[in-house]
Chains A and B, each alone.
Chain A
Amino acid sequence: MKQKMTKRARRETAIGWALLLPALLFMCVFTVYPVVRSIVLSLMKYKMGMDAPEFIGFANFTRLFGSSTFWKVMRNTVSFALMTVIPSMVIGLVLAMLVNRKGRHIGFIRTAYFYPSVMPMIAIASVWMFIYMAKNGLLDQMLMSLGLAPMDVLSNKATVLPAMAVMYVWRESGYLMVFFLSGLQSINSDVLEAAAIDGATGWKTFRHITLPLLAPTTLFISTIAFTNCFKLADHVIIMTEGAPNNASTLLLYYIYQQGFTNMNYGVSSALTVIMLVILLIVSVPRFFSQDRKIHYA
């Protein structure tokens, strides 16, 4: 009997692994291995023209930490995240509350908020280029018709990141809206009715009932929002290529530039490792999320 069981268990193990194998193989080669490889190469000197990488310890990191461009890129990346994540979450929540109703026109309005999410970032960037273009662009035309000076926002180091942030908030709010909407709809209507009977209205209901009940959803959404924001590079390639003077260079674009323009694989691997650490930090809420179920199913 016992032997039969182990035989069955062995068979189960074999089939289980066999079914997993194809997917697992791709995931290991293109997710696990590149993470390991980035860590290893981040400790190497490895540039174009070199036959083999050469171990140099943490020299790539110390060089980066001593470079003003690196700190500029990190400042840009963090400030772009702060300029986009919080506003797009707040606007996403507002939009979700506006469309959390039934009605014939509601579907149309939801569509209007969400459609940027099914457009590629480069299409969005090429349209917004014309809004932001110097003098002839929509924004500068509007300013000039009001008798103000044109701003040429993309060429000015003080305005280039905020201009990109506005564009990204426009895109991301509608995306985050659908997550807030599903969170709002999962709030038991009995709770809200009970509050109404107790005399709670509008703001009070929102502040003391809706918001606390949305807290887990909000935490989860913040993870998505930060991850999405850190993996952005497409619009930088189209709009500015980091100009003026690296004022719009974000971390992933910097990785791309170091790897493919400067062909410095050691430094770009070190930057990748830094990116991985950032992604790990913003994913922390996922580890502690109590009701993972509603998020994945």
Chain B
Amino acid sequence: MKMNRKKAVGVLITLLSIVLGVVWLTPLIWLVGTALTETSFHMTFLPTTPFTLDNIKYVWNAVPFGQYYLNTIILVVGTFCIQFVTSTLAAYSLAFYKFKGQALVFIVIFMQIIIPNDVLIIPNFMTLSELGLYDTKLGVMLPFLGSAMAIFLLRQHFKTVPKALGEAAMIDGANLWQTIWRVYMPCAKPAYMSFAVISVSYHWNNYLWPLIVTKSPTNRTLTVGLAIFAKSKEANMQWSNVCAATLIIIAPLLLAFFILQRQFMDSFVSAGVKE
């Protein structure tokens, strides 16, 4: 009797979780359905018109999405590569060196963790203009090149590596770089994966900062391009086109997420903070 009740509760939970899952997926299903079918003048949850790629083609030609893709990839990859170097060095320093003034560094790191970059748009915009970097790709990247989240994450992992390993490498004649590269980085692979996932998804999706500091199509990101299109006259009321444009910009990250779902979710937890 008790067993039956337990089973019934289990079935109920499964059912509820599936129903909620469908509710959660509704906007995405509608988005994909609308983007990939002929324009309809009546909005329905499931598409009623035939499949077509015309919306995607139209939007791709109406907006320089090719250029925006290239810009976004350059920004995302560039930001990550520089963060990779700066954070590795800083994390190694904070994990193994003891020196005066370290407490101050932790205060700076802590500051960045509690203050999201988005709220500092006004002063950072001024600094960027004064540096003459307004409307440049470097300008879009600059505020993110020292990442407290990455430093914290890597430092925690470096500290778990047995000291003997690093010392053995040093005794074998490896210099500082070689030791970090051959001993510590391989050991901290999961931390680097998490950091990559967080950094790439943050910068792929970031909007406010690129909106403020870019003005020419050669520097605009996908998100800024989508926003301009969604608010333009030719997009007005044309939901199939806006959906097609949205699909174009979210597809790569969403696909990566569906393939590596566990890795993505674990990364967000282990970072604990969105940059």
Interface residues of A (CB under 8 A from B): 9, 12-13, 15-17, 19-20, 22-35, 37-38, 41, 95, 98-99, 101, 103, 105, 107-124, 126-131, 136-138, 141, 170, 174-175, 178-179, 181-182, 202, 220, 224, 227-228, 230-231, 233-234, 237-238, 252, 255-256, 259-260, 265, 268-269, 272, 275-276, 279-280, 283, 286, 295-297
Contacts and interface: CB of A to CB of B under 8 A. Distances in A.
B97 A26 contact: no
Contacts of A227: 114, 116
A62 B28 CA distance: 46
Number of chain B interface residues as a range = 35 or more
A12 B98 contact: yes
Given A138-B43, A233-B208, A260-B212, A23 B146 contact: yes
A108 B265 CA distance: 12
A123 B92 contact: no
A35 B119 CA distance: 10
B8 interface: no
Contacts of A279: 114-116, 119
A131 B176 CA distance: 57
A19 B102 CA distance: 12
Contacts of A128: 27
Interface string B153-172: 10011000000000000000
Contacts of A19: 89-90, 92-93, 97
Given A25-B146, A179-B269, 9 more contacts: A20-B89, A22-B85, A31-B148, A115-B257, A138-B30, A255-B122, A259-B122, A295-B272, A297-B157
- Dominant SS among interface residues on chain B: helix
A223 to B, nearest CB: 8
A284 B243 CA distance: 41
Contacts of B43: 130, 136-138, 141
A103 B13 CA distance: 13
B183 interface: no
Nearest to B229: A126
B56 interface: no
B261 interface: yes
B53 interface: no
Interface of B: 9, 13-14, 16-18, 20-22, 24-25, 27-28, 30-31, 42-45, 85-87, 89-90, 92-94, 97-102, 105, 108-109, 111-127, 142-148, 151-153, 156-157, 176, 201, 204-208, 211-212, 223, 226-227, 230-231, 237, 239, 242-243, 246, 249-250, 253-254, 257-258, 261-262, 264-265, 268-270, 272-274
Given A110-B265, A272-B119, A256 B208 contact: yes
Main secondary structure of the interface of A (DSSP, over half): helix
B205 A119 contact: yes
B119 A275 contact: yes
Contacts of B121: 255-256, 259
Contact of B100 (A13, A112, A182): A13
A22 B254 contact: no
A255 B125 CA distance: 13
A93 B252 CA distance: 29
Contacts of B102: 16
B20 A98 contact: yes
A131 B146 contact: no
A129 to B, nearest CB: 8
B261 A32 contact: no
B227 A23 contact: no
